[in-house]
Amino acid sequence: MIQRVKKYLLHLVCIMILAVGTVGCDKSDSSDNSNENIETINIDVRLAGCWHLVSFCDASVDVDIYINFDKSGQFKIYQRTEGPAYTVFGGTCATDEVNFVLSGVYDDGTEWNTDYKYTVDTEAQELILESVATPDEVSVYKSSSVPVSATLSTRSASADDVKPL
141: CATH: 2.40.128.280
Residue 63 placed within a domain: yes
pLDDT tens string 132-156: 999 999 999 999 999 888 888 776 6
Instruction: Show the domain range for 126.
Output: 45-156
pTM (two decimals) = 0.69
Residue 145 placed within a domain: yes
Number of domains, the chain: 1
Compute CA distances 50 → 57, 65, 93, whole Å: 21, 10, 14
Residue 83 placed within a domain: yes
Q: What is the spatial distance between Cα 40 and Cα 61, in angstroms, rounded to a whole number?
A: 35
| Top mean-pLDDT range of 8-17, 31-40, 56-65 | 56-65
The pLDDT-based confidence of 160 (bands split at 50, 70, 90) is low
Higher pLDDT, 32 or 43: 43
Q: DSSP letters of 107-133?
A: TTSPBPSS-EEEEEETTTTEEEEEESS
pLDDT tens string 61-72: 888 999 999 999
